[in-house]
Amino acid sequence: MITGSQIKVPELPKVITNTHDEGLINLLEGSAAEMELFQGEQLIREAAERFHVVVIDYSSLSEGISDRDLVRYLKAIHDSNGVKTVLIGYDNDEMATRCYNAGLVAGVVPSVCRSLSAVVKPSVQNAFELFKSERDYLTKLFDRRYVTRELELAVEKANDALEPVSLLFLDLDYFKAVNDNYGHSVGDSALRAFANVLKKTCRGAGDVPARFGGEEFLVVAKSTGITNAYGLAERISESTRKIAIPLPENKFLQITVSGGLTTYNGVEDLSAEELLGRADKRLYAAKEAGRDRIFGPNEMALE
């Protein structure tokens, strides 16, 4: 079942900003494939849905905003689906460094440089490169490379500390038919809708949901035993069945997902590749059994 197909990633990001500065807007328009302006909580919501880089103009925030409130706002943006933030026109070097080190911003441009194309444009592009280094462009989930490394680290920890890690390998059912019958735009909508299911369902501190390639997805659930992993898988399945993608003539497309589940406790000395292979075999068996189901060790024992 492992395919690893990828989409072509555009060279420029989709940028969202709060700025009222026409000069800065002109600079950003030359740095983005698409750009829109929003404020406050609406900016956070829009950023989570459609954008890759957020440019926050400090001078366009509420007058007199405290450093504490600024950090809270930056954290809310940071937590909204993997977007990367560039902070423009902020001159508190100590706080800027702390925000950067905490991962709340990908770059800070001081006031003296806010109108310099040679500073602003590279800052935006660097933020986008950081996004692409760990995220899938379409779904904004973690990408194959990132989740593979996370799985390797989790398996190493299981081997060292006998701490469980569960792996869920998921594949959208009949997805080729979706693209063939309704077009790739509907297919992309289905992928994004399922990705949103994973983001809302995989809320544990050790959960790493990712797009593995094409219609395949992985969830690495660290410090999670088989019972809780089955519960997570069932919640994903139930939420997926509720997806309704709008079609012409007031019709809707519903989708389902099949999955293979495995858990490792560090006892057998398995590699990450071997663990993935077990999950893949169970995924294949779930497909063969009729789809829209999860196969784990209770449904299919593996030596």
Whether 134 is a known active-site residue: answer no
Tell me if residue 182 falls in helix, strand or coil.
Answer: helix
Separation between Cα atoms, residue 77 and residue 85, nearest integer Å: 8
DSSP codes, 266-300 = SSS---HHHHHHHHHHHHHHHHHTTSS-EE-TTT-
- Strands lying side by side in the sheet with 257-264: 207-213, 216-222, 165-172, 257-264, 294-295
Half-sphere exposure in the Cβ direction for 131 (13 Å, CA): 34
Tell me if residue 101 falls in helix, strand or coil.
Answer: helix
Please tell me which residue in 22, 94, 152, 215 is annotated as part of the active site. Answer: 215
Q: Give, for 232, the enclosing helix (H) or strand (E).
A: helix 226-241
Catalytic site positions: 215
